[in-house]
Amino acid sequence: MSKNKQLQLMGHIIAGYPTLELSMYAALGIAHAGASYLEVQFPFSDPNADGVVIEEACDTSIAQGFKVAQGFSLLRSLSSRLAHTQAKNTQTRLIVMTYANLIFRYGIEEFIKEAKECGAWGMIVPDLPLESDEKLRILAKKYNLKIISLIAPKTRASRIKKIAKASAEIVYVVSRSGTTGAKTHIDSTLLEWLEFIRRFCKKPLALGFGINSNEQVEVLKDKVEIIVAGSYFVRFISELAKDSKLTPQDYLDKLQGHTKALMGW
């Protein structure tokens, strides 16, 4: 990574949490603060990578009646609003994050086609392996939707090469075993792991799982290109949701400030 290049951010919101409208304004706050990427998670009832913070937010959204069509509606609104408020060279790229069963039930090609039409740049499906992706990557290429692959801890060199080749433009590196949410310690083991991946992957690295402080971000400067923060944002949104007096604009403003605090912008 170039030492003069600014560290980028991939933020994260849950579609429909705490409400569909407020999730949009939270997303806008993260984007307006300068996030290069934004994961819009379509909630799923049985996630296998999410910690308790994100899982509870997903459960709330589903209990309130979240439907896939609402997720696409949110994407379309976000894409339209960002197009009017951001210059072309600073446009936040929207990424749909969800699980395979939700996509299968909707129809893989139909899901990809609609995601692209609604303004998505890419998609992350953490429980769909390379060898049995049900033509996800082939179909995504047809509609020019980027599929971002994950490198899990202790992945062998040969596997890293395969994942790096299959992942579109960037590669998501999982910082540790387990689920999201718990704080990750940025120690020599993790830094050596990143250096190992660099030997076999020349694409920009996005590091996620347990990144929730500016101190961590500062240590990771010059180590990766992109910081992924999920539970950090969802936890803050959950705190805001306790105050029923907050307006949508409050969500936008507070998430913008929270984003800048994390990244030191």
- One-letter amino acid at 263 equals M
Task: Provide the pLDDT confidence category of residue 129 given band limits of 50, 70 and 90.
Answer: confident
Catalytic residue among 50, 114, 133, 225: 50
Mean local confidence (pLDDT), 213-227: 95
Q: Which residues contact 2 (CB under 8 A, 6 or more apart)?
A: none
CB-CB contact of 226 with 37 (8 Å): yes
Residue 50 designated active-site: yes
Is a pLDDT exceeding 80 seen at residue 86?
A: yes
Task: Identify the CA nearest to 23 among candidates 58, 51, 63.
Answer: 58
Catalytic residue among 39, 55, 114, 225: 39
CB-CB contact of 208 with 10 (8 Å): yes
Model pLDDT for residues 173-198, shown as the tens digit of each residue = 998 644 444 556 788 999 999 999 99
CB-CB contact of 86 with 55 (8 Å): no
Is a pLDDT exceeding 80 seen at residue 169?
A: yes
How many angstroms separate the CA atoms of 118 and 113, rounded? 9
Report the pLDDT value the prediction gives residue 48, as an integer from 0 to 100: 64
What CATH number labels 8-148+214-263?
Answer: 3.20.20.70
Q: Using alpha carbons only, how large is the chain's radius of gyration in Å? A: 17
pTM of this prediction?
A: 0.93
Is a pLDDT exceeding 80 seen at residue 143?
A: yes
Residue 39 designated active-site: yes
Q: Which residues contact 169 (CB under 8 A, 6 or more apart)?
A: 122, 146, 148, 203, 204
Report the pLDDT value the prediction gives residue 123, as an integer from 0 to 100: 98
What does the mean pLDDT of the chain come to? 92
